[in-house]
């Protein structure tokens, strides 16, 4: 893996504003141009779904104060892999944040937490249902402290009959039906290679918070934003969940093939596999032309999507025979040049390097001075309010003094 380019590494607090945009200021001193500059997030979330959401908000300029237990976020111990003794899992979802360690069962630390809520625009938590109420930090209590607070709460299976089920991504992959779709017909169900529904829920949480912030800008009203992993999973399964809800069909495992399109799968070439994705009839005609088998596209058994699906076994043999005449790299070059959707199958390192070859600069340095951590670039580019990578993922409690002093200042202002 190559290191970030000098341009990417330069993105940060000292980068000049483009187009005359005035930099926003993090309430704890970080300067930036992100669209959420000035928004304060009290982040009581742990592990993945909540931290991923708050990292996205932090990248966009929000001041995110990460409240950790005295032992830190669990993901600090999720190793290997590691970088300089730190878990890469934690580093992946916690840049641009400030860390303060609090024992929420200690009255003094609990008072600090309440002070933080009073000074925040957004609060997010993913504790087991009922825990925040027992601490006096649930939405009702938070709204008393800060009536216009936006309070995002993430659970695994909701706050009703599923409240007792732990919110682990793997449980949701199993219970949602997603694992029943993953793998070949003759294999056992498989989980996705990532905590897929934690990530999707994190995205939904960020979207929900942004929607609530817009409503607050219009009305001055805060609100409770509730999410659960199972609902996010069912939404994220899109056509597969709709197959049952709308069509009354229970989808089954099909390996790497698509239930509604063909060819849309890995294809065997002369030296390996290549993904070929044909989304419509016109693309199939062009594919057959590029493969020098135009007569196949005219065959009534393959001319239309429905017929190709019905005769996919026969069509697969024809395509594989033609693709076997050249390497995957050669076909990727030729089919791409013809404007046909295809892609090599690579490992994660190859994926990062491929993005670099395309000029997407996937790796950016987060932090400054002696602590700069290579991280994956924020996925959204803003032409007027660019994100920055000013802060490396925080060491445990590293911003305690800074946060506490700011809260004392806020308290003094409130009583002035």
Structure token pair of residue 338? 């013809």
Mean pLDDT of the chain: 92
Query: Phi, psi (5° rounding) for residue 32?
Result: -170, 175
Rounded Cα gap, residues 77 and 84, in angstroms: 13
pTM (whole model) above 0.85: yes
Give 336-392 pLDDT, tens digit per residue.
999 999 998 999 999 999 999 999 999 999 999 999 999 999 999 999 999 999 999
User: Please, where are the H alpha helices in 66-187?
Assistant: 88-92, 107-118, 131-135, 139-145, 169-175
Catalytic hit among 138, 169, 198, 388: 198
Residue 19 is predicted with a pLDDT of 36
Q: How far apart are CA 399 and CA 410, in angstroms?
A: 16
198 given a catalytic annotation: yes
In the predicted structure, residue 261 carries a pLDDT above the cut 70: yes
Q: Are 361 and 2 in contact (CB under 8 A)?
A: no
Taking only the tens place, the pLDDT of each residue in 82-133 is: 999 999 999 999 999 999 999 999 999 999 999 999 999 999 999 999 999 9
Instruction: Please tell me what DSSP assigns to residue 203.
Output: H
297-332 pLDDT, tens digit each = 999 999 999 999 999 999 999 999 999 999 999 999
pLDDT tens for 147-198 read 999 999 999 999 999 999 999 999 999 999 999 999 998 899 999 999 999 9
CA 279 from centroid of its chain's CA atoms: 26
Residue 20: the pLDDT is: 35
Higher-confidence position of 126 and 16: 126
Other residues' Cβ atoms within 10 Å of the Cβ of residue 20: 6
The rounded distance, in Å, linking the Cα atoms of 209 and 223 is 10
């Amino acid at each position: 893996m190559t290191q970030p380019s000098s341009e990417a590494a330069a993105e940060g607090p000292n980068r000049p504003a483009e187009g005359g945009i005035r930099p926003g200021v993090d309430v704890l001193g970080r300067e930036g141009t992100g669209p959420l500059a000035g928004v304060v997030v009290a982040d009581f979330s742990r592990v993945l779904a909540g931290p991923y959401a708050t990292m996205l908000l932090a990248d966009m300029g929000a001041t995110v104060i990460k409240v950790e237990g005295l032992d830190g976020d669990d993901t600090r111990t999720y190793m290997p892999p590691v970088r300089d003794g730190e878990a890469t899992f934690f580093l992946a979802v916690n840049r641009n944040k400030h860390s303060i360690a609090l024992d929420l069962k200690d009255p003094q630390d609990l008072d600090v937490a309440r002070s933080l809520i009073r000074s925040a625009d957004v609060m997010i938590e993913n504790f087991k249902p009922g825990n925040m109420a027992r601490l006096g930090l649930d939405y009702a209590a938070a709204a008393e402290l800060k009536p216009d607070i936006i309070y995002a709460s993430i659970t695994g299976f909701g706050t009703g009959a599923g409240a007792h089920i732990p919110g682990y991504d793997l449980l949701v992959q199993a219970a949602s039906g997603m694992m029943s779709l993953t793998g070949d017909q003759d294999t056992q169900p498989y989980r996705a290679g990532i905590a897929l529904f934690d990530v999707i829920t994190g995205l939904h949480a960020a979207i929900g918070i942004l929607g609530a912030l817009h409503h607050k800008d219009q009305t001055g009203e805060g609100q409770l934003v509730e999410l659960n992993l199972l609902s996010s999973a069912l939404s994220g399964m899109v056509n597969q969940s709709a197959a049952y809800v709308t069509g009354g069909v229970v989808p089954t495992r099909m390996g790497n093939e698509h239930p509604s399109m063909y060819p849309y799968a890995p294809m065997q070439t002369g030296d390996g596999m290549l993904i070929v994705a044909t989304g419509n009839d016109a693309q199939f005609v062009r594919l057959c032309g590029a493969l020098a088998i135009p007569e196949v596209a005219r065959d009534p058994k393959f001319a239309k999507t429905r017929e190709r699906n019905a005769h996919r076994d026969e069509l697969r043999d024809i395509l594989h025979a033609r693709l076997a005449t050249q390497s995957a790299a050669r076909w990727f070059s030729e089919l791409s040049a013809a404007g046909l959707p295809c892609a090599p199958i690579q490992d994660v390192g190859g994926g990062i390097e491929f993005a670099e070859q395309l000029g997407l600069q996937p790796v950016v340095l987060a932090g400054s001075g002696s602590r700069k951590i290579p991280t994956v670039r924020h996925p959204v580019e803003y032409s007027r309010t660019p994100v920055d990578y000013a802060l490396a993922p925080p060491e445990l409690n590293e911003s305690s003094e800074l946060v506490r002093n700011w809260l004392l200042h806020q308290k003094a202002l409130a009583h002035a």
